């Protein structure tokens, strides 16, 4: 029976005896390794189920019930169960098997949670926001810059359950990296929790470096000679995407600090030292995001000031040309009045004289405005 079928059996059983029956059925099939796909090709939310003992991956068929039974019988090693966007029904049997708190189960299934760290009895529940940078040829007012997802982690004495939401942030490469370091993996489920936290925070730093490139480009465009013509929507879009990144990074500081400093039963002291390094990287990402936010505010204010200056310059030019045009308008308006007795009205050189006066007056005004920078 496949892992998908096994999970359906688990969700429909309420007694341990029924779970053991499923375990006997599933041992007949070869193991299917589903470490990398975003979702199991078998149609199940189970991505992988692996047992580790002394930092080494145990051979097995990927059956959840059998893996848990073997680990708890020997009281050695732990099970790492990976899930991708499970439904309530798919997660119900797993929650019963691992004795997970209903509130944590609800958060894991519904997603859209704030980064946090909670303890339910002997189980630790952590929520991480994952981020990835969306590549784009040119930043526009509608460009997506940051894409977010979530990873929920249940950590117990002999198990780690990871629940991933979103199409990025695969833990397959992370699992392989840990398996190449058996000494670290031998430290237990807390080592997996640290690896996930470190992986998530490293992604934060990578995304902030990429976002900095977009901010630098916008800054260059704004302070270019024609910066007033820059689309302000690009700046607002960057601020909006930066807000998504901020929502992922800022709330995580307190949970990571608790993991690094507060005594937690499932996190041994030797692992807490690693969390202090994660906290240091997280604070760096947090500082970068705060600096980006302030910089974008400054860029936006500078752009608005440039637009105001450009508008003032346009108004000065319009006013200067209006003053130049006012001279012939005034003279022509005077001589357009239908009076019989007006100065020089019958003189042969009256018309050339008026045209000359108008030309001299207009040229004098134009020269004065040019000298003062109005034209």
pLDDT for position 289: 93
Give pLDDT tens digits for 249-279: 999 999 999 999 888 888 888 898 899 999 9
Determine how many CB atoms are found less than 10 A away from the CB of residue 19. Answer: 20
The answer to whether residue 35 scores a pLDDT higher than 80 is no
pLDDT for position 284: 94
The answer to whether residue 337 scores a pLDDT higher than 50 is yes
Q: What band does 316 get if pLDDT is binned at 50, 70 and 90?
A: confident
Q: What is the DSSP letter of 268?
A: -
Stronger pLDDT, 35 or 173, i.e. the higher one: 173
The answer to whether residue 127 scores a pLDDT higher than 90 is yes
Helix axes 16-26, 64-74, angle to 10 degrees: 110
Instruction: Answer whether 179's CB lies under 8 Å from 80's CB.
Output: no
pLDDT for position 166: 85
Average pLDDT taken over every residue of the chain: 81
Give the whole-angstrom CA distance, residue 310 versus residue 101: 61
Give the whole-angstrom CA distance, residue 190 versus residue 265: 10
The answer to whether residue 217 scores a pLDDT higher than 60 is yes
Determine how many CB atoms are found less than 10 A away from the CB of residue 163. Answer: 26
State which of 31-35, 231-235, 265-269 shows the largest mean pLDDT.
Answer: 265-269
pTM of the full structure: 0.73
Q: Which domains does the chain have, with CATH numbers?
A: 46-307 (3.30.460.20), 308-372 (1.20.58.340)
The answer to whether residue 317 scores a pLDDT higher than 70 is yes
**Own/partner pairs, 113-121, CB within 8 angstroms, 24+ separation:** 113/150, 113/152, 114/247, 114/251, 115/248, 115/251, 115/252, 115/255, 116/251, 116/255, 117/254, 117/255, 117/258, 117/259, 119/264
Give the whole-angstrom CA distance, residue 189 versus residue 196: 11
pLDDT for position 44: 62
Give pLDDT tens digits for 90-103: 888 889 889 899 99
pLDDT for position 10: 44
pLDDT for position 29: 31
Q: What band does 344 get if pLDDT is binned at 50, 70 and 90?
A: low
The answer to whether residue 353 scores a pLDDT higher than 80 is no
Instruction: Look up residue 60 and give its two tokens.
Output: 């097995």
Average pLDDT of the segment spanning 281-299: 92
The answer to whether residue 39 scores a pLDDT higher than 50 is no
Stronger pLDDT, 197 or 74, i.e. the higher one: 197
Q: What band does 290 get if pLDDT is binned at 50, 70 and 90?
A: very high
Give the whole-angstrom CA distance, residue 270 versus residue 54: 16
Instruction: Answer whether 49's CB lies under 8 Å from 3's CB.
Output: yes
Instruction: Look up residue 64 and give its two tokens.
Output: 């959840």
Q: What is the DSSP letter of 161?
A: E
Give the whole-angstrom CA distance, residue 334 versus residue 342: 10
Cα-Cα-Cα-Cα dihedral of 120, 149, 202, 83, to 10°? 60
Give Cα 240 distance to the centre of its chain: 10
The answer to whether residue 307 scores a pLDDT higher than 90 is no
pLDDT over 90, % of the chain = 29
The answer to whether residue 301 scores a pLDDT higher than 90 is no
Q: Which among 250, 244, 278, 45 is positioned nearest to 132, based on CA atoms?
A: 244
Question: Is 271 exposed, middle or buried, given 0-12, 13-18 or 19+ CB atoms closer than 10 A?
Answer: buried
Instruction: Answer whether 82's CB lies under 8 Å from 171's CB.
Output: yes
Give me the residue label for tokens 């004289």: 353
pLDDT for position 170: 83
pLDDT for position 151: 94
Instruction: Answer whether 79's CB lies under 8 Å from 158's CB.
Output: yes
Give the whole-angstrom CA distance, residue 259 versus residue 150: 19
Q: Angle 149-43-200 (CA atoms, 0-180°, nearest 5)? A: 20
pLDDT for position 19: 37
Q: What band does 24 get if pLDDT is binned at 50, 70 and 90?
A: very low
Average pLDDT of the segment spanning 217-221: 87
Give pLDDT tens digits for 129-179: 999 999 888 888 888 889 999 999 999 999 999 999 988 878 888 989 999
């Amino acid at each position: 029976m496949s892992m998908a079928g096994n999970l359906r059996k688990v969700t429909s059983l309420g007694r341990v005896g029924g779970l053991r029956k499923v375990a006997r059925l599933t041992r007949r099939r070869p193991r299917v390794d589903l470490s990398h796909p975003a979702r199991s090709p078998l149609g199940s939310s189970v991505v992988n189920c692996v047992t580790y003992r002394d930092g080494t991956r145990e051979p097995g068929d990927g059956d959840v019930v059998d893996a848990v039974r073997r680990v708890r019988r020997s009281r050695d090693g732990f099970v790492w169960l990976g899930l991708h966007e499970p439904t309530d029904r798919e997660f119900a049997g797993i929650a019963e098997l691992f004795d997970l708190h209903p509130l944590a189960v609800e958060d894991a299934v519904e997603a859209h949670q704030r980064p946090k760290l909670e303890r339910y009895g002997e189980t630790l529940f952590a929520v991480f926001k994952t981020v990835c940078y969306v590549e784009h040829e040119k930043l526009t007012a509608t460009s997506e810059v940051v894409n977010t997802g979530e990873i929920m982690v249940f950590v117990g004495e002999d198990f780690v359950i990871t629940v991933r939401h979103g199409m990025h942030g695969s833990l397959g490469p992370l699992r392989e990296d840990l398996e190449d370091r058996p000494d670290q993996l031998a430290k237990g489920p807390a080592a997996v929790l640290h690896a996930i936290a470190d992986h998530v925070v490293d992604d934060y730093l990578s995304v902030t470096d990429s976002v900095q490139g977009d901010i630098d480009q916008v800054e260059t465009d704004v302070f270019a000679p024609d910066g007033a013509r820059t689309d302000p929507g690009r700046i607002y879009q960057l601020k909006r995407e930066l807000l998504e990144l901020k929502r992922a990074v800022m709330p995580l500081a307190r949970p990571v600090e608790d993991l690094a400093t507060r005594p937690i039963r499932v996190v041994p002291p030797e692992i807490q030292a690693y969390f202090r390094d994660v906290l240091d990287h997280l604070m760096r990402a947090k500082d970068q995001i705060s600096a980006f936010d302030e910089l974008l505010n400054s860029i936006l204010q500078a752009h608005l000031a440039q637009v105001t200056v450009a508008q003032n310059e346009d108004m000065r030019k319009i006013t200067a040309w209006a003053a130049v045009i006012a001279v012939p308008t005034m003279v022509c308006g005077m001589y357009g009045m239908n009076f019989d007795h007006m100065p020089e009205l019958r003189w042969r050189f009256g018309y050339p004289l008026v045209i000359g006066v108008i030309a001299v007056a207009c040229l004098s005004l134009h020269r004065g405005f040019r000298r003062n920078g109005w034209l």
